[in-house]
Amino acid sequence: MELQETVAALFTLPKGILAMDGSPTTLGKRLAARGIEATEEQRRRYRELLITTPDLHRFISGAIFHEETLRQTLSDGTPFAQAARQRRLLVGLKVDQGLGPSPFHPKEEITRGLGGLRERLRAAKDRWGIRFAKWRGVYRIDRTEGLPTLDDIRIDSFELAQYARVCVEEGVVPIVEPEVLMEGTHSIEESARVHRMVWREVLAQLHQHAVPPEQVVLKASMVVAGSEYEGGPASSEEVAVQTLSALYDTVPDSLGGIAFLSGGQSPEYATANLDAMVRRGPHPWPLSFSFARALHQPVLERWGGNDAFWNEAQEVFLHRAHMAALARLGRYTPACEQNPQAAPCRI
């Protein structure tokens, strides 16, 4: 019961899940790209900016932390997990340990992190009250290289299911994230073909591991054309049709919910795509967002490491969360970007 309550809380309308679990390396690169020193202290400050944004709970139900964040505190000494809970956010933890080389193909990577997983989950639940976790598998599309390989899909799906099994046994909701990368020259049809293969295998493995689908959140990539596809990006309508049709073909109605990642899409595109999917509903599962870049890339640009822009950066962040929440309601329009307080855009 506890698990389904957590799922329901994560999908409370119109809120979504904030991904702020970028590893020191990934977040470090994003900071450095904006001319911000990639130190642990700058990562801490940036995360503080996000989590202390006033009114965040109106649009965000939970935040996914990197384990580094669990060890960090706000400037006033409050541990991050406590600060999130005080702000009515559920706390989640990324528990995979990143990517390592694959035995199947030199250009493929396998997610690591099953070692000690149960103990890590237990410790984080007891000490920090985490209610959900996240594990990300990654699949690269490259037809000339034959990627993703079937072996990679099988291994990553098997690991996702093992992780999910341990989570439900420990009373923690698993966010299962098989990300099919947008990077590449592939068409949207090719992306749909790979998504179907991946989702089918992940769901089959979850079934084999007796993981109840209603206790699982699928963190899905959207079916989009590759970022270097010669025909350019597909319309939001087409993204919605392709993504939904692949989901309806592969995912049971009983799944707890689906939260999309943004995967390098612009904030406006990711938001419009979610909105187009919601508008085609009702669907058997709640559709939501669990964006990282599409929520906080503009925030990083505004802040730039300069606290003179702290409040403005938080306003940019709340605006992005507001737009994504509108998409959850199927009420997002580009006009809301300019005039978020107009009646049709207010929540």
- Within 13 Å and on the Cβ side, how many CA atoms surround 343? 0
Contacting ligand 13P (CB under 6 A), which of 137, 226, 233, 263?
263
| Contact predicate 289/260, CB 8 Å | yes
Q: Which is nearer to ligand 13P, 250 or 262 (CB)?
A: 262
C-alpha span between 233 and 269 (Å, rounded):
10
Q: Which is nearer to ligand 13P, 7 or 292 (CB)?
A: 292
The token pair at 188 is 């949207």
169 is catalytic: no
What residue is closest to ligand 13P based on CB? 292
Quick note: the x/- pattern for ligand 13P over 10-39, rule CB under 6 A, is ---------x--------------------
C-alpha span between 255 and 217 (Å, rounded):
7
Q: CB under 8 Å to 175, separation ≥6 — which residues?
A: 17, 64, 92, 132, 133, 134, 135, 217, 218, 219, 259, 290
C-alpha span between 247 and 253 (Å, rounded):
10
Q: Which is nearer to ligand 13P, 15 or 293 (CB)?
A: 293
219 is catalytic: yes
| Contact predicate 92/175, CB 8 Å | yes
Which region among 31-39, 140-148, 248-256, 261-269 touches ligand 13P (by CB under 6 A)? 261-269
Report how far apart, in Å, the C-alpha atoms of 80 and of each of 47, 130, 249 are. 9, 12, 40
C-alpha span between 290 and 263 (Å, rounded):
10
Quick note: the x/- pattern for ligand 13P over 177-206, rule CB under 6 A, is x-----------------------------
Phi and psi, residue 203, nearest 5° = -65, -35
Least distance (Å) from ligand 13P to the CB of residue 341? 26
Quick note: the x/- pattern for ligand 13P over 276-315, rule CB under 6 A, is ---------------xxxx---------------------
Q: Which is nearer to ligand 13P, 135 or 303 (CB)?
A: 135
Least distance (Å) from ligand 13P to the CB of residue 137? 10
47 binds ligand 13P, rule: CB under 6 A: no
Active-site amino acid positions: 177, 219
Q: Name the residues that contact ligand 13P, by CB under 6 A.
A: 19, 136, 177, 261-263, 291-294
